[in-house]
């Protein structure tokens, strides 16, 4: 039975229980002790942990970091813990060791929502837009925590993603895959985050759309926002990366600039198909 004592016994009755939109996200506690082996603007430092208090460890002493103006990319084979590392940085994994710091401040013990307030923008891999709301409403919701006038930010987002301005009054659920991802990134940018985290932004889009998305991501990075992203398409991602982390089984296997990693024969052989 899932959910401990309050599971649904496999009931799928749509007339009484809404199957849609429930939250899966569970905030997790911190480690209780600090750790500082690395310095950067955003750093997930020597993280070890897994899901739940007693779940097996998925990350082992894993470190990822990004500095302003940079794009840092986490790559690796399937099941290497790429997305898990991202979730750990965002506070959705129970850490047993390590810490997360943003701009020098330890945020290891904060909930994901509080991290958003601190200036982290996160774009999940799936369900990353409000499908029943218009594009403009999606952006408004992105700016929910802001009490000031955000029309300027919205204009910037529209400048960055012109197609969204065109479709501003259309429900986001009716857009194409690539356009949805733009809405998702746009929504995250509305808080004017200090750092942007993208979990596989190109999953499930066509190669052409993928190239366009990468171009947009570079543009966002040029505005000075550091970007930490997880990518399935290692080669293309490393090409635009200032910093690359290759994870294997939850551990840092190789770290370097994107160019170095692309040139590294070991990395090429194991992960880039020669």
Partner 1 sequence: MDFLNAIVALSNFVLIPAIAYGSQLALGALGVTLIYGILRFSNFAHGDTMAFGAMIAVMVTWWFQSMGLNFGPLPTALLALPFAILGTMVLVLITDRMVYKFYREQKAKPVILVIVSMGVMFIMNGLVRFIIGPNDQKFADGERFIISVRDFKAMTGLKEGLAIKTTQGITVVVAVICVALLFWFLNRTRTGKSMRAYSDNEDLALLSGINPERVVMYTWLIVAALATTAGVLYGLDKSFKPFVYFQLLLPIFASAIVGGLGSPVGAIAGGFVIAFSEVTITYAWKKVLVYLMPESLEPDGLVQLLSTDYKFAVSFVILIVVLLFKPTGLFKGKSV
Partner 2 sequence: MTDVLKNTLLFAAVGTLILLTGLMQSWNSALLILNMGLISAIMALGVNLQWGFAGLFNVGVMGFVALGGLGVVLTSVDPVGEAWAAGGIRVIIGLLAGAGTIVGAALVYQNLPAGRSRNLLLILVLLGGFFLYRAIFDPGVAAVETVNPAGTGFLGGLGLPVLLAWPIGGLLAAGAAWLIGKTALGLRSDYLAIATLGIAEIVIAVMKNEDWLARGVKNVVGLPRPVPYEIDLQQSASFVSRAEGLGIDPVTASTLYVKLGYAALFATVLLIIFLMAQAALKSPWGRMMRAIRDNEVAAEAMGKDVTRRHLHIFVLGSAVCGIAGAMMTTLDGQLTPGTYQPLRYTFLVWVMVIVGGSGNNLGAVLGGFLIWFLWVQVEPIGLWLMEMITIGMAEDNGLRQHLIDSAAHMRLLTMGVILLVVLRFSPRGLIPEK
Question: 194, 170, 190: which is closest to 180 by C-alpha?
Answer: 170
Helix 151-160 crosses helix 177-189 at what angle (to 10 degrees)?
150
127 binds partner 1, rule: CB under 8 A:
yes
Among 81, 142, 193, 244, binds partner 1 (CB under 8 A): 142
Give the interface segment with partner 1, choosing from 18-26, 35-43, 236-244, 247-255 (CB under 8 A). Answer: 18-26
258 lies in the site for partner 1, by CB under 8 A: no
* 4 belongs to the binding site for partner 1 (CB under 8 A): yes
Q: How far apart are CA 254 and CA 266, in angstroms?
A: 9
Residue 148 interacts with partner 1 (CB under 8 A)? no
Q: How far is the CB of 155 from partner 2 (least distance, A)?
A: 42
Is residue 159 within the footprint of partner 2 (CB under 8 A)? no
For residue 206, count other CB atoms closer than 10 A to its CB. 12
Residue 269, C-beta contacts closer than 8 angstroms, at least 6 positions apart: none
Question: Judged by CB, which is closer to partner 2: 9, or 53?
Answer: 9
Q: How far is the CB of 3 from partner 2 (least distance, A)?
A: 10
When the beta carbons of 4 and 224 are compared against partner 1, the nearer one is 4
Question: What are the strands of the beta sheet with 120-123, ordered from one edge?
Answer: 120-123, 195-199, 227-230, 71-75, 243-248, 251-256
| Shortest Å, Cβ 189 to partner 1 | 12
Q: Which burial class, exposed, middle or buried, applies to 16 when counting CB atoms under 10 A from its CB (0-12, 13-18, 19+)?
A: exposed
Pick what 18 binds: partner 2, partner 1, none; C-beta below 5 to 8 Å, kind-dependent. Answer: partner 1
35 three-state secondary structure? coil
Task: Kindly state the greatest CA–CA separation across the chain.
Answer: 57
Of 97-105, 108-116, 238-246, 257-265: span binding partner 1 (CB under 8 A): 108-116
Partner from partner 2, partner 1, none contacting 140, C-beta within 5 to 8 A by type: partner 1
Collect all residues with Cβ–Cβ distance below 8 Å to 20 and sequence separation of at least 6. Answer: none
Give the whole-angstrom CA distance, residue 45 versus residue 32: 14
- Within residues 15-34, the interface with partner 2 by CB under 8 A covers 15-16, 19
Helix (H, G, I), strand (E, B) or coil at 211: helix
Smallest separation (angstroms) from partner 1 to the CB of 132: 5
Distance CA 97, CA 46 (A): 7
Closest by Cα among 186, 174, 179 to 138 = 186
Contacting range for partner 1; rule: CB under 8 A; set: 35-43, 68-76, 81-89, 141-149: 141-149
Beta bridge partners of 177: none
Q: Is residue 269 a contact point for partner 1 (CB under 8 A)? A: no
Q: Which is nearer to partner 2, 126 or 151 (CB)?
A: 126
CA separation for the pair 145, 118 (Å, rounded): 11
**Smallest distance from partner 2 to CB 13, Å:** 5
Counting contacts by CB under 8 A, is residue 1 touching partner 2? yes
Which parts of this chain interact with partner 1 (CB under 8 A)?
2-9, 11, 13-18, 20-26, 112-113, 116-117, 122, 124, 127-133, 137, 140-142, 144-145, 173, 187, 191
């Amino acid at each position: 039975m899932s959910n401990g004592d309050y599971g649904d016994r496999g009931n799928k009755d749509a007339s009484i229980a809404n199957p849609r939109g429930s939250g899966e996200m569970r905030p997790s506690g911190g480690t209780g002790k600090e750790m500082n082996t690395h310095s950067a603007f955003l750093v997930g430092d020597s993280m070890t942990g897994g899901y739940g208090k007693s779940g097996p460890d998925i990350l082992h002493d894993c470190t990822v970091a990004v500095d302003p103006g940079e794009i840092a990319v986490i790559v690796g084979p399937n099941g290497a813990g790429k997305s898990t590392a991202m979730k750990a940085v965002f506070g959705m994994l129970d850490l047993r060791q390590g810490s997360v710091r943003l701009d020098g401040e330890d945020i290891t013990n904060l909930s994901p929502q509080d991290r958003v307030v601190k200036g982290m923008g996160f774009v999940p891999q799936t369900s990353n837009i409000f499908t029943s709301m218009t594009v403009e409403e999606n952006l408004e919701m992105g700016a929910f925590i802001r009490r000031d006038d955000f029309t300027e930010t919205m204009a910037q987002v529209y400048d960055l993603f012109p197609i969204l301005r065109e479709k501003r009054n259309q429900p986001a659920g009716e857009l194409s895959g690539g356009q949805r991802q733009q809405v998702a990134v746009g929504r995250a940018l509305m808080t004017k985050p200090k750092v942007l985290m993208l979990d596989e932004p190109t999953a499930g889009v066509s190669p052409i759309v993928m190239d366009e998305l990468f171009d947009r991501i570079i543009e966002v990075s040029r505005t000075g926002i550091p970007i930490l992203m997880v990518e399935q398409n290692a080669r293309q991602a490393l090409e635009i990366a200032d910093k690359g982390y290759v994870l294997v089984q939850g551990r840092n296997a190789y770290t370097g600039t994107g160019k170095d990693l692309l040139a590294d024969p070991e990395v090429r052989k194991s992960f880039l198909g020669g």
